[in-house]
C-alpha cells in the first residue's frame, strides 16, 4: 500500500483506550503513533496484546502547538462537528496523521485549527475511541488497499485471476452467473475471456 499514516489522540486519559488505539494502529499498519496532552502510563495499557510499543514509534507532545508531523503529512481531525466532512465522502491524503479527541470531550479549538481537514463518522452519537480509529482506518484501507470492485450480485468474488498491472488481484464471478448481471466493463472483460 502506498503512502503512510499515523494515529494520534489528544487528551486521552484511559489506559484501556490507549491500548486499543495502539493495537488498532498496529493491526492496520500505521507508521507511527502520537499523543498530545495525554494522561496515561504505558504499562497500564493492558488491552494492547499486540505489543505495538515494540513495533511503532510513539511521539508525545504537551499541546497542539508543539505537535510536529513528518514532512508532507496532512493532519486529519476526527470529530462530531457540523462542519466536518462525512467520512464516506472524504478522499484520504496519501500521507496522513489522524487525530482523535478525548474520551469525554472534543478536539481542542487549537487542534481543530491545526487540522487540514476534519471528518466525522456518520453515526447518531459518538463511539468509543478505539472503534472510531478502526472505522477511519478501515475506510482508508478501502481507499488505498487496491481491492477489486464489489460485485454487482450479492456476495463476493469466487475465484482469483492473475494480478493485473497495478498489482491487485482481479476476480471473476461464478461461471453459472449470467453476463447480464455484470456491470458494462465487467461484462466486456468476461466476453473477451
Rounded CA-CA distance 17/9 in Å is 10
- Sheet of strand 4-10: strand arrangement: 58-61, 32-36, 4-10, 95-100, 74-78, 117-120, 85-86
Domain spans of the chain?
Answer: 4-144, 159-192
Give percent above pLDDT 70 in the chain. Answer: 76
Q: How confident is the model at residue 159 (pLDDT cuts 50, 70, 90)?
A: low
174 Cβ contact partners less than 8 Å away, ≥ 6 residues apart: 158, 159
Considering the domain 4-144 in this protein, what is its CATH number?
A: 3.40.1280.10
Please list, in sequence order, all residues whose beta carbon lies within 8 angstroms of the beta carbon of residue 172, skipping any fewer than 6 positions away.
157, 158, 159, 161, 190, 193
CA dist 41 → 12, 36, 131 (Å): 11, 14, 21
- The C-alpha atoms of residue 179 and residue 137 are separated, in whole angstroms, by 35
**Least confident span in 50-54, 55-59, 121-125:** 50-54
Q: Is the pLDDT of residue 84 over 50?
A: yes
User: Residue 51 region, left (φ>0) first, then alpha (ψ -120 to 50), else beta?
Assistant: left
Q: Are 52 and 97 in contact (CB under 8 A)?
A: no
pLDDT digits (tens, 9 = 90+) for 86-108: 999 999 999 999 999 987 889 99
Q: What is the pTM of this model?
A: 0.77
Amino acid 31: pLDDT: 94
**What tens digit of pLDDT does each residue of 118-133 get?**
999 999 888 988 899 9
Burial, 43: exposed, middle or buried (Cβ in 10 Å; 0-12, 13-18, 19+)? Answer: exposed
C-alpha cell at 30: 500505521
Average pLDDT over residues 153-178: 53
Q: Is residue 43 predicted with pLDDT exceeding 60?
A: no
Mean pLDDT of the chain: 81
Question: How many C-beta atoms surround the C-beta of residue 136 within 10 A?
Answer: 24
First and final C-alpha spacing in the chain: 29
Amino acid at each position: 500500500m502506498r503512502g503512510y499514516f499515523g494515529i494520534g489522540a489528544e487528551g486521552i486519559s484511559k489506559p484501556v483506550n490507549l491500548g486499543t488505539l495502539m493495537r488498532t494502529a498496529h493491526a492496520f499498519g500505521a507508521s507511527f503513533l502520537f499523543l498530545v496532552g495525554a494522561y496515561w502510563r504505558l504499562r497500564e495499557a493492558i488491552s494492547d496484546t499486540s505489543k505495538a510499543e515494540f513495533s511503532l514509534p510513539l511521539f508525545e507532545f504537551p499541546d497542539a502547538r508543539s505537535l510536529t508531523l513528518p514532512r508532507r503529512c496532512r493532519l486529519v481531525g476526527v470529530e462530531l462537528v457540523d462542519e466536518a466532512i462525512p467520512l464516506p465522502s472524504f478522499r484520504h491524503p496519501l500521507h496522513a496523521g489522524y487525530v482523535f479527541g478525548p474520551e469525554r470531550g472534543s478536539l481542542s479549538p487549537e487542534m481543530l485549527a491545526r487540522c487540514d481537514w476534519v471528518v466525522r463518522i456518520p453515526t447518531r452519537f459518538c463511539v468509543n475511541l478505539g472503534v472510531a480509529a478502526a472505522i477511519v482506518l478501515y475506510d482508508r484501507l478501502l481507499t488505498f488497499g487496491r481491492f477489486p470492485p464489489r460485485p454487482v450480485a450479492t456476495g463476493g468474488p469466487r475465484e482469483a485471476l492473475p494480478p493485473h498491472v497495478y498489482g491487485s488481484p482481479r476476480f471473476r464471478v461464478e461461471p453459472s452467473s449470467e453476463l447480464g448481471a455484470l456491470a458494462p466493463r465487467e461484462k466486456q472483460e468476461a466476453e473477451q475471456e
